[in-house]
């Protein structure tokens, strides 16, 4: 006989990705038995983030202000615009420290079967942004999946006569990867995209 409050908490945990009824139960009992303070803090952080986090008016990334810190920063190169699918992609690219341009976050990819069209991923917004800022290059950094490729293709078509150079992230063997364990599709890409050897 589980208390209704515990039952409700276990159900609520199930909304997290990768969490089923068994892990949800473990999480609920762990917090109740050993870390009530952590549970309260999680509750407060959740509420604050769910209510406070919105989309940046320029790049659509998550922010708690009207425009995100990255877009407001004066040190970014506005001639370079990187289009990604999701805020985690911005985070991953920023973590490398090797990119100094700006971003545009689609918050998804084109998926006609799910009813996700160009407006849902903010392509009208992207168009006016490009007209306003006039970048010299747009990097299409959507995922290397079928939907990501289709989305990149659609965006490339949008800007093909604009004079802006369009690029796509390189596909190939990951650094440290062994050819033996790499799938055929990637191997073909890395062969056809081979570069002159530089010592």
Which residues bind to its own copies, rule: CB under 8 A?
1-6, 8-9, 11-13, 15-18, 23, 25-33, 35-36, 38-53, 62-64, 68-70, 86-88, 91, 94, 107
Q: How far is the CB of 25 from its own copies (least distance, A)?
A: 7
By C-beta, is 43 or 171 nearer to its own copies? 43
By C-beta, is 33 or 131 nearer to its own copies? 33
CA 95/CA 84 separation, integer angstroms: 15
The tokens describing 104, both together, are 């545009």
Asked whether the beta carbons of 102 and 71 are under 8 A apart, the reply is yes
According to DSSP, the β-strands at 77-84 and 137-140 are: parallel
Q: How far is the CB of 102 from its own copies (least distance, A)?
A: 12
Burial 95-121 (b: 16+ CB within 10 A, else e): eeeebebbbbbbebbbeeeeebebeeb
The enclosing H or E element of 105 equals: strand 101-105
CA 193/CA 186 separation, integer angstroms: 10
By C-beta, is 51 or 199 nearer to its own copies? 51
By C-beta, is 40 or 133 nearer to its own copies? 40
By C-beta, is 26 or 134 nearer to its own copies? 26
Q: How far is the CB of 199 from its own copies (least distance, A)?
A: 36
Q: How far is the CB of 194 from its own copies (least distance, A)?
A: 33
The tokens describing 62, both together, are 């998550």
Q: How far is the CB of 187 from its own copies (least distance, A)?
A: 27
């Amino acid at each position: 006989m589980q208390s209704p409050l515990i039952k409700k908490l276990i159900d609520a945990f199930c909304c997290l990705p990768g969490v089923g009824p068994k892990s949800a139960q473990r999480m609920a009992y762990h917090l109740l038995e050993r870390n009530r303070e952590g549970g309260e803090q999680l509750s407060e952080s959740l509420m604050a983030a769910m209510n406070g986090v919105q989309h940046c008016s320029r790049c659509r990334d998550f922010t708690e202000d009207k425009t995100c810190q990255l877009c407001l920063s004066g040190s970014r190169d506005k001639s370079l615009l990187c289009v990604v699918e999701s805020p985690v992609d911005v985070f991953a690219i920023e973590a490398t420290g090797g990119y100094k341009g700006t971003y545009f976050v689609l918050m998804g990819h084109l998926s006609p079967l799910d009813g996700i069209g160009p407006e849902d991923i903010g392509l009208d917004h992207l168009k006016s942004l490009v007209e306003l800022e006039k970048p010299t290059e747009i990097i299409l950094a959507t995922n290397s999946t079928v939907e990501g490729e289709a989305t990149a293709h659609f965006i490339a078509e949008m800007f093909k006569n604009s004079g802006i150079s369009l690029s796509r992230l390189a596909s190939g063997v990951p650094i440290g990867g062994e050819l033996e364990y790499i799938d055929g599709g990637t191997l073909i890409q890395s062969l056809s995209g081979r570069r002159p050897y530089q010592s």
